Amino acid sequence: MWKLGVNIDHTATLREARYRGQSRGEPDPVEAALACVSAGCHSITAHLREDRRHIQDHDIDRLAEALTVPLNFEMANTTEMVAKALEIKPAYVCLVPEKREEVTTEGGLDVSGQSDQIAATCQRLQSVGIEVSLFIDPDEAVVQASKETGALAIELHTGAYAESFDCEADREAELARLVKSAELAHSLGLKVNAGHGLNYENIKQLHGVPHLEELNIGHSIVSRALSVGFEAAVKQMLALM
């Protein structure tokens, strides 16, 4: 069975809509994370963005202290964020691209265009036991470039698959890209995860993609939790997985 990583960023999005700039507020991302853990998820993902639009430094600090499952720390490859990762020492770091104008992370890393910088970060973090994954588009050339950086894992960007889900031809084409990328990554010895845009409907088709170990899902679970609570939302997703 796949493992489920729950991204709790958007609990902080809701909090920041009312409590921006304050040290406390609701809902509490850490409380949400612990509810997800209690329901059986396998890890918690949180993205400390450079503009601090949702998750804040104190959230990451508290998560690092409170979690009994691995913390997957999503971050841009910057000096500030590398220092933060070395401070809190999460189990995993996932390097992602960031643009201030985007609503959420769109597109994968340009691995070839910044291979030296990525390789240096991979070496630095992995030397202290932090597993580094790269958030990449399902493209075989990018998978190969990811391997060359020394990263131990990749997270395949499933956004294009999710966006094409209602068109069978486009959906099948995107699934084929995911299959080829996963097969290549596995043959290269990379751990293969996936995420972005996954929900209670489109997750079923991913059973055709081989070698996936963990799916990172956030917005859909947080949205359903508003109606049924985090425990039920996580358990429903786990049942589909």
The alpha-carbon radius of gyration of the chain (Å, integer) is 17
Mind telling me the catalytic residues? 47, 74, 196
- CA proximity to 2, closest of 46, 42, 44: 42
User: Phi/psi at 41 (nearest 5 deg)?
Assistant: -70, 160
* E strand intervals along 76-211: 92-95, 131-136, 153-157, 191-195
Strands (E), 137-222: 153-157, 191-195, 212-217
β-bridge pairing 92-95 and 71-75: parallel
| Burial category of 209 from C-beta neighbours within 10 Å (exposed 0-12, middle 13-18, buried 19 and up) | buried
Take residue 79 and report the two structure tokens written for it.
């000096």
Helix or strand (DSSP H, E) at 236: helix 230-240
> How big is the chain, counted in residues?
241
